[in-house]
Amino acid sequence: MDGFERAERWQAAATAAGTLLAIIPAASVAGNIFVALLAALGAGSLAGGAVMLWWLRTPEGDACLRADARLSGRSTKGWALWLGNLSPGIVLMALAWALQTRMG
């Protein structure tokens, strides 16, 4: 197993753990299971994105990122990495917040 596969496993574990840890507080605050699930999935996605960003800052992750950028031509700028890894969680959390304020 190479470093990127290991990082993906850590990311998946952090996403699952973040979602499971956030579901109870989200359900107690939201009062609606759909909004609670969106908020919990958003929190899990943020946790998974943070783990991947942490790994990309390591020497192994940086080398993997640079090699991938050479092959694919994708950006390795800091803002692009932050946006790509954290945007799913931000979108889900914003959607849950918007639904909660609309319903609440």
Model's pTM, two decimal places? Answer: 0.88
SS3 content of the chain, % helix, strand, coil (to 5): 90, 0, 10
Written as six digits, the tokens of 71 are 């092959």
> pLDDT tens per residue, the chain (104 residues)?
688 899 999 999 999 999 999 999 988 888 888 999 999 999 999 999 999 999 999 999 999 889 888 988 887 888 888 999 999 999 999 999 999 999 86
Instruction: Give one DSSP letter per residue of 56-91, joined into a string.
Output: HTSHHHHHHHHHHHHHH-----HHHHHHHHHHHHHH
Residue type, position 86, single letter: L
Residue with tokens 């596969």: 5
